[in-house]
């Protein structure tokens, strides 16, 4: 099956396991399936940097290099790239992303969270 066929088989209500399996298949098709965890991590860091630039461009009034404005993709696109690369790292490590999130949330829901943001609009 090729990438377009795999993509066309996805449905909006597919679960995380289905998405994780899709990403594994397309990463293999694209030739990145043998990438090491270290290479994946470097790519993830790069994608997070691109997400930061995109947020800076779209959501703040911070200065950006106008000569490179076309190099900055949308926030949604960069978030998708981060998710794809993170999921690929999970696949390399044989980590089921859904299970990992559930296990971590079992810990998080038992914690006491305190917002120390002084600018929370009181």
Q: Quote the CA–CA distance of 89 and 2 in Å, as a whole number.
A: 22
Q: Quote the CA–CA distance of 24 and 17 in Å, as a whole number.
A: 11
Class of 34-108 in CATH: mainly alpha
Which pTM does this prediction carry? 0.86
pLDDT given at position 98: 97
With b for 16 or more beta-carbon neighbours within 10 A and e for fewer, the 83-97 pattern comes to ebbbbbbbbbeeeeb
pLDDT given at position 34: 93
pLDDT given at position 121: 56
Do residues 79 and 51 lie in contact, with contact meaning Cβ atoms separated by under 8 Å? yes
pLDDT given at position 120: 63
Q: Tell me the mean pLDDT per 10 residues along the chain, length 122.
A: 95 96 96 95 96 89 77 90 98 97 96 82 54
Token digits for 71? 């190099």
């Amino acid at each position: 099956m090729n990438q377009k066929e795999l993509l066309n088989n996805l449905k909006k209500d597919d679960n995380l396991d289905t998405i994780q399996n899709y990403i594994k298949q397309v990463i293999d098709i694209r030739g990145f399936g043998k990438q090491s965890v270290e290479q994946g991590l470097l790519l993830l860091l790069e994608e997070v940097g691109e997400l930061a630039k995109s947020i800076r461009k779209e959501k703040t009034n911070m200065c950006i290099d106008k000569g490179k404005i076309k190099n900055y993709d949308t926030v949604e696109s960069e978030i998708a790239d981060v998710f794809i690369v993170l999921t690929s790292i999970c696949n390399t490590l044989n980590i089921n992303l859904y299970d990992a999130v559930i296990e971590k949330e079992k810990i998080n829901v038992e914690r006491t969270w305190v917002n120390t943001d002084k600018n929370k609009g009181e």
